């Protein structure tokens, strides 16, 4: 059982009172895993959830599947996505499946309505049902199928922790985090595949190495550069319209590459500095996540005042009642502590 060494992170105010407080953890490291800044315990162990997706795309590229099937940069970006299920996302999933010769029913991620409200409403208005391609993880699952088809592995049980594609992804994630595979805690993610638990600073290190892979083996370094280039050039395919991940990359013009994970997780890479940041909201509240990420990024001096202004709606969101009246705010309330 872990000690509770979190720190207050976000205040939720209503009128003159702080009504609720979200606590959490932040670790900022270099590529060697040295902690540069922290909030709370940087060794707090948590599941990376979807923040691992950029790392999971690496073995798909290294296997040769991306080149064999001619996947373009939009499709590579989608391999790492928690996409909104908009038409462009769904079309791109279909494109990947066509290229690898796979049917939609090979996807085992399960259907859900698109995260984008307009896309979900359109399906409902037409009396339809969502398909597996609408699942926000369908890009990642398409990558798993591409890996399996390319190497001639069976796909019936591709979600099993014992399947070669899952073993390859575990190995890549562990290696990027400076861990042995046995040092990664395994659970089951919302889409059914293994999810990876590790100390927060190790997730930050993985993202630092993703953006600055100079010391990695040539094949791994090349894969890192292809993933980060694809996401930087096509951030819409990583998330979608008005999504924080997409907007952060767009506004920073690719200087910051970040990925959301469920239950209050976020990881980002700052390639120019060779830094990685990993953040966990202790109670998993998404409403606290983006204000905390932007506050950390601001304290680290990674965005200009103009860029922060473009993301202001995420940094200190207003609380409104059912009549639309502003009644409070969600406000960051922490200072990162430098180390060393």
pLDDT, position 4? 65
Alpha-carbon distance of 279 to 149, in angstroms, equals 35
Residues 6+ apart with CB under 8 A from 323: none
**pLDDT tens digit string along 203-223?**
999 999 999 999 999 999 999
Residue 339: per-residue pLDDT: 87
Structure tokens at 65: 């599947």
DSSP 15-61: TTEEEEEEEEEEEEE-TT--EEEEES-TT-EEE-GGGGHHHHHHHHH
The predicted-structure confidence for 29-80, as pLDDT tens digits, reads as follows 999 999 999 999 999 999 999 999 999 999 999 999 999 999 999 999 999 9
Q: Is 2 left (phi over 0), alpha (psi -120 to 50) or beta?
A: beta
- Report pLDDT for 278: 98
Q: For 244-298, how does the pLDDT look when each residue is reduced to its tens digit (9 = 90+)?
A: 999 999 999 999 999 999 999 999 999 999 999 999 999 999 999 999 999 999 9
User: DSSP E strands: which ranges in 141-204?
Assistant: 185-188, 194-199
Reading the block at residue 208, the tokens are 């630092």
Please give the Cα distance from 214 to 209 (Å, whole number): 8
State pLDDT tens for residues 161-194.
Answer: 999 999 999 999 999 999 999 999 999 999 999 9
Model confidence over 29-38: pLDDT tens digits?
Answer: 999 999 999 9
**Residue 217 backbone zone (phi > 0: left; psi -120 to 50: alpha; other: beta):** beta
Reply yes or no on whether the pLDDT at 20 is more than 60: yes
From the list 112, 108, 187, the residue with the least C-alpha distance to 145 is 108
Residue 322: both structure tokens together: 């059912």
As beta bridge partners, residue 128 has: none
In the chain, domain spans: 7-338
For the cut 90, the answer to whether the pLDDT of residue 340 exceeds it is no
Closest C-alpha to 276, from 176, 189, 170: 176
Share of the chain above pLDDT 70, in %: 99
Rounded average pLDDT over 153-167: 97
Does the global pTM surpass 0.75?
yes
Question: In this structure, what DSSP letter does residue 332 have?
Answer: E
For residue 2, how many other CB atoms are within 10 A of its CB?
10
**Average pLDDT in the 149-156 region?**
96
Q: What is the CATH number of domain 7-338?
A: 3.40.710
Q: Roughly how many angstroms between the first and final C-alpha of the chain, as a whole number?
A: 28
Does 270 or 4 have the greater pLDDT score?
Answer: 270
């Amino acid at each position: 059982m872990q000690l509770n060494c979190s720190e207050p992170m976000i205040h939720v105010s209503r009128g003159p009172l702080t009504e609720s407080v979200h606590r959490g953890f932040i670790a900022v490291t270099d590529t060697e895993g040295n902690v540069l800044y922290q909030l709370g315990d940087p060794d707090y162990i948590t599941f990376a959830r979807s923040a691992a997706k950029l790392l999971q795309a690496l073995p798909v590229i290294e296997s040769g599947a991306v080149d064999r099937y001619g996947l373009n940069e939009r499709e590579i970006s989608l391999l790492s996505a928690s996409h909104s299920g908009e038409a462009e996302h769904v079309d791109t999933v279909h494109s990947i499946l066509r290229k690898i010769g796979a049917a939609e029913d090979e996807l085992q991620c399960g259907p859900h309505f698109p995260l984008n409200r307009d896309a979900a409403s359109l399906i409902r208005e037409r009396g339809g049902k969502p398909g597996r391609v609408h699942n926000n993880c369908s890009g990642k699952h398409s990558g798993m199928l591409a890996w399996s088809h390319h190497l001639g592995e069976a796909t019936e049980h591709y979600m099993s922790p014992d399947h070669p594609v899952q073993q390859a992804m575990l190995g890549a994630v562990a290696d990027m985090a400076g861990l042995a595979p046995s040092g990664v805690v395994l659970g089951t993610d919302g889409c059914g595949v293994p999810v990876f638990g590790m100390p927060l600073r190790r997730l930050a290190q993985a993202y630092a190495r993703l953006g600055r892979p100079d010391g990695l083996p040539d094949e791994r370094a090349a894969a890192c550069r292809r993933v980060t280039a694809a996401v930087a050039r096509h951030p819409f395919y990583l998330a979608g319209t008005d999504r924080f991940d997409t907007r952060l990359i767009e506004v920073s013009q690719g200087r910051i590459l970040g990925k959301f994970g469920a239950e209050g997780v976020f990881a980002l890479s700052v390639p120019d500095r060779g830094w990685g940041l990993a953040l966990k909201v202790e109670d998993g509240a998404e409403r606290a996540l983006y204000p905390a990420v932007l506050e950390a990024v601001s304290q680290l001096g990674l965005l200009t005042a103009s860029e922060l202004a473009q993301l202001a709606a995420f940094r200190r969101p207003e609380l409104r009642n059912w009549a639309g009246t502003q009644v409070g705010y969600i406000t960051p309330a922490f200072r990162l502590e430098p180390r060393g």
